[in-house]
A and B are shown apart, each in its own frame.
Chain A
């Protein structure tokens, strides 16, 4: 079934608790965390949004409440339209939200990545493990308090750590983070370099 032209009206009629969200491109709604599976199931089964194109999250800042927002992008392969749904996690310290792996099996790895990077657990996920960082890594790297350079931890393998006498060390930022100027005609100027000097190892990251 193709998606109706004005899906916003239909969705607001069926789910009055949804709040429209500012968006530069596609219709976007914010839903209470508990309603996400129901809203997505409704969109998938009744309005042709049959493809989950992306599932990610936002860290709104260390002191922000609600701190974590999970973002769902769904696409209708018949009407060729996108829709964005967001949901705030209620708990800022131990954020969690219902898994949508029962709707789209493909959500499995997306949710594992969000768990790995942000530490948001997905209730009902069949295999809630890290996917990018190794098992036992103590941090969630995309959280705002985590520095880009990293934090000192042991290597994933204790034996190798002992043999080589090395560990995971913060990367030398050397004036970074480095930024490229895409679209620059002068290739020498387009090279990645430390254009943003707002913080590096000589200058603390501003709070």
Chain B
């Protein structure tokens, strides 16, 4: 080490109440730790989604406990369940009503690919109508799998060029 400073942690006496960082890092840090999910519960995956939010698995540990049933207040749609063609336009409209920046988790086999419903009535993967960030396998996925998806989404959020997008928006 070239520096004589042996303090590795932030020390106000040395730094003088100033933290130097990139705007992206700050914005992404805030965004990724306060994800407000929109629970798009359409089938049995919604039960696991509720279990993920409940005390045993406690999605609040990752800052995403504020489930909002209004798309205006949400920024991450969790599509939990089978999407029928009849439901698909409503799902897309709810997605459109969410304020940017917004993300989508396709939870479970049905939302990701139509799952076992190879039929005339079922949309074969929600990525045909909304852009999906993270896919979760399972039928339904365990709560741990959804938490892992959330962590992956947070990792993805932390790499985004948020400041540049804010300027150009």
Where the two chains meet, the residues of A that have a C-beta atom closer than 8 Å to any C-beta of B are 132-134, 141, 146-151, 155-157, 159-161, 163-164, 166, 168-174, 176-178, 192
Contact = CB atoms under 8 A, between A and B. Distances in A.
A198 to B, nearest CB: 15
Contacts of A156: 85-86, 88-89
Interface residues of B, number: 18
A176 B124 CA distance: 14
Contacts of A150: 119-121
Contacts of B85: 134, 155-156, 168
Contact of B120 (A134, A146, A159, A161): A146
A172 B118 contact: yes
A188 B141 CA distance: 19
Interface of B: 85-86, 88-89, 92-93, 96, 114, 116-122, 124, 128-129
- Top 3 nearest A-B pairs by Cβ distance? A150-B120, A157-B89, A160-B89
Given A163-B92, A164-B92, A164-B129, A173 B118 contact: yes
Contacts of A172: 118, 124
- Which residue of A149, A160, A164 has the most chain B CB atoms within 10 A of its CB atom? A160
Given A174-B118, A176-B118, A178-B118, 7 more contacts: A133-B121, A146-B120, A149-B119, A156-B85, A156-B88, A160-B93, A178-B116
- Which residue of B118, B119, B120 has the most chain A CB atoms within 10 A of its CB atom? B120
A164 B132 CA distance: 13
Given A148-B119, A150-B119, A171-B114, A155 B89 contact: yes
A148 B118 contact: yes
A164 B91 CA distance: 12
B120 A171 contact: yes
**A contact patch SS:** loop
A170 B123 CA distance: 10
Nearest to A170: B120
Contacts of B92: 157, 160, 163-164
Contacts of A174: 118
A45 B105 CA distance: 55
Contacts of A149: 118-120
Contacts of B93: 157, 160
A149 B118 CA distance: 6
A166 B125 CA distance: 12
A173 B96 CA distance: 31
Nearest to A147: B120
Nearest to A130: B86
Contacts of A173: 118
